[in-house]
Structure 1
Amino acid sequence: MSIWESFKIALSSIWNHKIRSVLTMLGIIIGVAAVITIVAIGQGAQTQLTDELFSTDKNAIELFYEQNPTEDGSEMIWMEPELTHEDVETLAKVPGVKAVLATNQGWGALAYNDKQGEMEITGVGAEYFAARNIKILEGRPINVRDNDGMNRIIMIDTVARKKFFKENEKVIGEIVDLNDNPYKIVGVYESPTPEQFRHSEFGEMLMPRALISLMFGNREIERLAIIASNPDKISETGRLAADTLTKSKKLEDGKYNIFDYSQFEGEFNQFILIITLFIGSVAGISLLVGGIGVMNIMLVSVTERTREIGLRKALGATRGKILLQFLIESVTLTSLGGLIGLGLAILGTLVISHFSPITATISPLVVVIGISFSAFIGIVFGILPANKASKLSPIDALRYE
């Protein structure tokens, strides 16, 4: 008897005992569906939270000044070096640096018609938009002439546009009041800052950093960040940039360092993985229970088909063929349960993704592992019934009532 014929017999046996087969597969179905769904939710949550927490730019890293501790342990007088355009040019020449982001910050009250709101303002240069992949939805970005000439222009993000303007209302070229001074809107952009990390419900603004320095009296360059050409070497590039800036400014009382989020991201991903594996293993207990159910029903099947087994042995079927037949039936039963469980998992993830903020993601690897594991359970828990069937004596089996 070929494997295909054994497979057809297995399907026939399952079909002839539909209710019993479904009840037997129930544990496998629930187990596979639960495990795949939980892992999908875990992967979706990990991807979403990682993007929100760590991926302002995957290949960006911020530099900060770190003052050396005093020898006698006394309180330090904080004196951060002033950053200049020459420092930006120095960093731009560091190997592996794709772009340098020089920014400053401010807050202002934006007013238009009868609407007003406090908003965070980021002072930027022309390089900011390409380096951060800022999506311009309307108008144009801030350019070199705007910064050099300290032009009174601003850009607002999509949140601010919705707060201050109607959907089809003209925005570009409109004059708004910012801290009681007129400014012209030249562009609308999509902010890369996740909503939960915004500091104002009214949105954000971009402005030439030289203008922010003039308005608020702060330094033109308050923060420096570098964009690495290769995201895989972001830490090495960042440290090289920090060391280069320290040497260039001939610092003695301190040095420049980097905010390296890679370690925190790795720890966060490991935490999510542990939680997912723990919950998935708890859900996987139903697979064990389902396997026991498969073994139980196969033992019953062996008892019911004792005379059939005896007849096949009398006609020349070997012990190996009998063993293979019952193993195929067991694997077919659990594999069908795994496929049905996969279907339920896909449906469940679609529902979860629709009604929750997390987009559950089913990876092909998890699907392959889930179906393979269900088939493996069929082999493990089918060995005992198959072995029992193969050991039956043909004479005793034919006498069985």
Structure 2
Amino acid sequence: MATTAQQQGSFEGTLRSAKTSMVFSETLQLAIDSFRASKVRSLLTMLGMIIGSASIVLVVTVGLTGKQYAIQTISSLGPNLVEMQYSGGTTIGPNNTSTPDYMTREDEDAVREAVPGIAYSSPMLETHAAISMGEGRTKDALLLGVSPQYKDVRNLAVVAGRFFDDQDAIAHEKVCVLIEPFAKALYGSAQNAVGQTFTIVGIPFTVVGVAKLRITDFGQSELSDQTALIPYPVARYFTGRDDVKEIFFTMRDPMDVTSGADKITRIIQSRHKPTSVYKAQTLVDVLEVMGQIATSLTYVLTAAAFITLVVSGVGIMNSMLANVSARIREIGIRKALGATRREVRMQFLTEAVTLSLGGGLIGTLLGLALPLSISFLTPFHIPVSPWSAVIALSTSTLVGVIFGTVPANRAAALDPVETLKYE
């Protein structure tokens, strides 16, 4: 007996499942037939959903692209960079004279010995001088005395010639590397600049290379369009001191930047007066802020796209209400033939969701097509988030359900006797 009851229950469950499948299939077919009967109205109703869904995908894509570009731009100033700066404090010398408590090359060496994970480092001496190219031609320049590792610290690209090396620094060779805009201003092109000679305070210098930042820094680094880089030991000729206001360190692992900055600060601080102030600047905070700005902007623009979807949802509801009014007699005939209120409600709700989801699908495909085409046809890579498609389609479905409920309930509540009298 128990076995027979179980078999009967299983049979009834299978029957219910088959009936549900048949009802849904019939309902979907009725929705498709309704769209075919009024193609223009259906397309116009879907237009708002198409625009809204495409907007969501494109807005998220623009936000991701902007975030990626901002991060690449900032990172180009020096990947994993820790910039130590002297901020204040003095030492008392002979005759009670106070002098700034600058950092030294010994501080740099001490840090490199004590802090693991440092890939490159470079001190920087900064001074301004006029360079003379003969025949009375002079040009003001920003001279930066740096080590050969400065090229890697600042992620410079050498566009002509070479960067000076350790041998040049040890031998105090009078060589320099010009920043590309300066080389073009002086000699017309980067290639023409290599091998040229000019003098600074009567000392002849030979241009051995021309370099540039890989991505524009928007004025955020110490490099200007009139910069000449020279070996640090040679730069001391112009200052007469071994004091350093800035030392750059590059960590191998970006995860070590924050902890490395703290260690570097403690070591340098311990080698100077307690009242002296040294600050470590990193790109971590800047990158986080840029990411937050890009994300916030994406949220705002996505909210605007959601408004478009809501407005299109109102359009779907109005269209479906008009559709119910135009099909009152059809609804009465279906009810007379045995259709339940639930089946009528499901029919019109399915039509609304199909309209909304169809528009969302078309809009999502159009929104994805643009960035994917750019990535495929050009060398530019446009990041595309699959979540933007999921959000667009989910929102389209939700809008169809919400704004299709009222027309569906109105159709289901119609009295079959009254509907059959309707002309």
Could you tell me the TM-score, scaled by structure 1's length? Answer: 0.79
Write out per-residue CA displacement over residues 202-252 of structure 1, whole angstroms, 9 at most, x where no aligned residue. Answer: 4433221111121343536431122223223322210011112223x1533
Pick from 124, 132, 149 the counterpart of residue 171 of structure 2: 149
The 3-state SS of whatever aligns with 1:154 is strand
Matches within 5 A, 1:1-400: 1=22, 3=24, 6-7=27-28, 9-49=30-70, 51-52=72-73, 56-67=77-88, 79-84=100-105, 86-93=106-113, 94-110=115-131, 117-166=139-188, 169-178=191-200, 181-192=203-214, 194=216, 196-197=218-219, 202-219=225-242, 221-247=244-270, 249=271, 251-260=273-282, 262-263=284-285, 265-267=287-289, 269-315=291-337, 317-342=339-364, 363-400=385-422
Decide whether aligned partners of structure 1 residues 55 and 314 sit closer, same or farther in structure 2, where only a CA change above 3 A counts.
farther
Write out per-residue CA displacement over residues 118-163 of structure 1, whole angstroms, 9 at most, x where no aligned residue. Answer: 3333322122223443222332222111111111111123323433
Q: Which runs of 5+ in 1 are unaligned?
A: 70-75, 351-358
CA–CA separation in structure 1 for the residues paired with 2:133 and 2:346: 79
Decide whether aligned partners of structure 1 residues 123 and 331 sit closer, same or farther in structure 2, where only a CA change above 3 A counts.
farther
The 3-state SS of whatever aligns with 2:209 is strand
CA–CA separation in structure 1 for the residues paired with 2:347 and 2:300: 36
When Rg is computed on C-alpha atoms for both structures, the one with the higher figure is 2
CA–CA separation in structure 1 for the residues paired with 2:201 and 2:355: 72
Decide whether aligned partners of structure 1 residues 295 and 111 sit closer, same or farther in structure 2, where only a CA change above 3 A counts.
farther
Decide whether aligned partners of structure 1 residues 11 and 177 sit closer, same or farther in structure 2, where only a CA change above 3 A counts.
farther
For the Cα contact (< 8 Å) 1:33–1:342, is it kept in 2?
yes
Decide whether aligned partners of structure 1 residues 311 and 167 sit closer, same or farther in structure 2, where only a CA change above 3 A counts.
farther
2:93 aligned residue = none
Decide whether aligned partners of structure 1 residues 199 and 116 sit closer, same or farther in structure 2, where only a CA change above 3 A counts.
farther
Sequence identity, in percent?
Answer: 27
Q: Greater CA deviation, 155-164 or 44-53?
A: 44-53
CA–CA separation in structure 1 for the residues paired with 2:55 and 2:382: 13
For the Cα contact (< 8 Å) 1:42–1:360, is it kept in 2?
no
For the Cα contact (< 8 Å) 2:153–2:250, is it kept in 1?
yes
RMSD: 3.9
CA–CA separation in structure 2 for the residues paired with 1:3 and 1:154: 78
The 3-state SS of whatever aligns with 1:383 is helix
Write out per-residue CA displacement over residues 247-275 of structure 1, whole angstroms, 9 at most, x where no aligned residue. Answer: 3x153333533225544554454455445
Decide whether aligned partners of structure 1 residues 6 and 160 sit closer, same or farther in structure 2, where only a CA change above 3 A counts.
farther
For the Cα contact (< 8 Å) 1:101–1:127, is it kept in 2?
yes
The 3-state SS of whatever aligns with 2:177 is strand
CA–CA separation in structure 1 for the residues paired with 2:145 and 2:215: 15
For the Cα contact (< 8 Å) 1:295–1:381, is it kept in 2?
yes
Q: Greater CA deviation, 107-116 or 90-99?
A: 107-116
Decide whether aligned partners of structure 1 residues 213 and 290 sit closer, same or farther in structure 2, where only a CA change above 3 A counts.
same
CA–CA separation in structure 2 for the residues paired with 1:110 and 1:341: 60
Write out per-residue CA displacement over residues 11-46 of structure 1, whole angstroms, 9 at most, x where no aligned residue. Answer: 443343233223323433443444544454444444
Q: Which runs of 5+ in 2 are unaligned?
A: 1-21, 91-96, 373-380
Deviation at 1:361, TM superposition (A): 6.1
For the Cα contact (< 8 Å) 1:91–1:245, is it kept in 2?
yes
The 3-state SS of whatever aligns with 1:284 is helix
The 3-state SS of whatever aligns with 2:228 is strand
CA–CA separation in structure 2 for the residues paired with 1:155 and 1:265: 29
